[in-house]
Amino acid sequence: MIAAQPNTLSAEEKAAGWVLLFDGVTPRGWLEVTGLPFPTTSWTVEGGCLKGFPNPDGIQDIRTVDTYRSFDLRFEWKILKGGNSGVKYLVQRTDRWQRKGEAGFQARARGLEYQIVDEENRDGADPKRKTGALYSAMAPRGGVVKPFGEFNESRILVRNDHVEHWLNGVRVLAFDLTQPEALRVLRDNRRSDDIVRISPICLQNHGAPVWFRNLKIRRLD
């Protein structure tokens, strides 16, 4: 159920160990994905949301200050028609580069990604790139995305080697990190067999407006 008062925790949630990742007012607790200050040229706080927006001179992913190994992450999000974004976890590395002729920088997290996309977008035509997918690796099953401009609820559960993706109350994907498809993503992004098992949570700016709110997490380790 969409929270009546986003960016708040009930007494029961606090007692159960839930922590807010975003206070709804400031970007406190968030950095540019490589650890630089929060990138105000491609992210802002708007209407109680962390909003990523396009910038022709460069767009950056953002990350939590804290890192996580096993966790239960809940969040709400919305995109516009044609939108594309994602939430990345178990991040293996980050990149920051400048394209020729641009004034700003691109910055990306490389890891497992919970895909968020308008399925009329070119990416969304691929079953392994639909909302709720493990991006480019595993297709979701079930779950319904709400109409453009409405908030959706998502959940990422990582408990040791077990991972689940949820969309609007439906578990759409479950897998183990030892499966070949997941190992391939981890190793390709790491460019090594030395896989990272603890990392920040990252929000993707893919060059289209995206809004996130009610981001909360509970450690499971």
Using the predicted structure, report yes or no on whether residue 139 has a pLDDT greater than 90: yes
Using the predicted structure, report yes or no on whether residue 5 has a pLDDT greater than 90: no
pTM of the model: 0.95
What are 88's strand-pairing partners?
113, 202
| Interval 33-42 mean pLDDT | 97
Instruction: Find the distance separating the first CA and the last CA of the chain, reported in whole Å.
Output: 26
The pLDDT > 90 percentage for the chain reads: 88
Q: Which two tokens stand for residue 183?
A: 């190992």
| Interval 141-152 mean pLDDT | 92
- What 8-state DSSP symbol labels residue 120? T
List pLDDT tens digits, range 181-212: 999 999 999 999 999 999 999 999 999 999 99
* Cα distance between residue 17 and residue 60, in whole Å: 30
Could you tell me the domains of the chain? 29-213 (2.60.120.560)
pLDDT at 89: 98
